[in-house]
Chain A
Amino acid sequence: MIWDSWTDFIGMGGYALYVWGSFAVAVLAVGGEQGALALRRRAALRAAGARP
């Protein structure tokens, strides 16, 4: 653990916007893809005649 406190960690040595901006968008992208894939699977199963 290299940080003194949580505030220190969140602050990222003054680069919070850049670091968290990168990680947050990566998480959003992966989450969005998973959401889209779940919807697509459900639609595909229904189109193939599966009961919901």
Chain B
Amino acid sequence: MLSIGTPITTGGQPQPRVARWLRFASPQAFLPLADRLIPWLHAIALVLAAAGLYIGLFAAPTDHQQGDSYRIIFVHVPAAWLSMVIYMAMAFWAGVGLVLNTRLSAMMASALAPTGALFTFLALWTGALWGKPTWGAWWVWDARLTSELILLFLYIGFMALQAAISDPRRADRAGAVLALVGVVNVPIIYFSVQWWNTLHQGSSVSLRSAPTMAALMLQGMLIMALALWAYAGAAVLQRLRAIVLERERHTEWIQRYITERK
């Protein structure tokens, strides 16, 4: 129990290891860190994508039911996973920004949205191209597809709302409320194939049971997922870096950053 007068924060120097990480919560420390991370993330994404595409397109066998159309899985599933993960991250950072009033958290939420929307679009697009040969329809109003479409609208709504409000701090707060309300949609997408009778197949990979696909197919899919994760990390950091530059351009430290930049 806290007695009166107990400091909640240490006030002086926090513990060194914590301090080292908290440092990056300031846009000032973030910018040089992002500059260092972005090329590495791109390199990792490229190497993993090359490996994943080799496995997916050259090594993995043809599926005995779906033929080669199943190869869409190597971009469809990673894109769909990321569309949900990025939304959760966006809502998390928006929530942190709302509660703690930290500028960089809110900027992080704004930086995540377009990449999240892009992967949601890719999940829907590749899903349509997979649906046509397997179900005979580009689109059906099934629970999985519909909730994923709602996810795309949530991303677009978040970006449109932020773009419509000229004061960035107010835009951050309005966007955060929308992002947090929309979180309810993510478990609906994820569990839709269990809760409703959907045309979309159940998960091939779950935490509870062994995967129901050939080892090589699974490996290719997981490597592609890691590649897209690394790419998404790079793209989000690139966008966050641009947002920091746009918003803090009048500060002295940005001026110093620009002149010291090689």
* Chain A residues proximal to chain B, CB less than 8 Å: 1-3, 9, 12-15, 17-19, 21-23, 25-26, 29-30, 33-34, 37, 40-41, 44-45, 47-50
Chain B, 97-115, CB within 8 A of any chain A CB: 114-115
B132 touches A18 (CB 8 A): yes
Which residues of chain B in 55-97 are interfacial with respect to chain A, using CB atoms and an 8 Å cutoff?
57-62, 67-69, 71-72, 75-76, 79
- The count of chain B contact residues (Cβ–Cβ below 8 Å) is 38
Interface hub of B72, B118, B261 (most chain A Cβ within 10 A):
B72
B122 CB, nearest partner CB in chain A, Å: 6
Which candidate, B13-21, B123-131, B151-159, is the interface stretch facing chain A? B123-131
Contact A48 B115 (CB under 8 A): no
CA–CA, A40 to B239, complex, Å? 8
From B67, B121, B254, A29 is in contact (CB under 8 Å) with B121
Total contacts A-B at CB 8 Å: 91
Tell me the smallest distance from the CB of B111 to a CB of chain A, in Å: 10
Smallest Cβ-Cβ distance to B130: which chain A residue: A18
In the complex, besides A22-B126, A26-B75, 9 extra interface pairs with C-beta distance below 8 angstroms are A2-B59, A12-B69, A18-B129, A26-B79, A33-B235, A37-B239, A47-B245, A47-B246, A48-B254
Contacts of A26 in B (CB 8 A): 75, 79, 122, 126
Given A14-B67, A33-B235, A50-B258, A19 and B241 contact (CB-CB distance below 8 Å): no
CB distance A19 to B58 under 8 Å?
no
| B68 in contact with A13 (CB, 8 Å) | yes
Query: Residues of A contacting B242 with CB < 8 Å?
Result: 37, 40-41, 44
Q: Tell me if B's interface is mostly helix, strand, loop or mixed.
A: helix
Shortest CB-to-CB span from A13 to chain B, Å, is 4
Does B185 lie at the interface of the complex (its beta carbon under 8 Å from any beta carbon of A)? Answer: no
Decide if B245 touches A44 in the complex (CB within 8 Å). Answer: yes
Q: Which 8 A-B pairs have the closest CB atoms?
A: A13-B68, A48-B249, A44-B245, A15-B69, A22-B126, A18-B129, A12-B68, A13-B67
Q: Nearest CB to that of A36 among chain B residues? A: B114
Contact for A2 among B61, B67, B132, CB less than 8 A: B61
Q: Which residues of A contact B249 (CB under 8 A)?
A: 44, 47-49
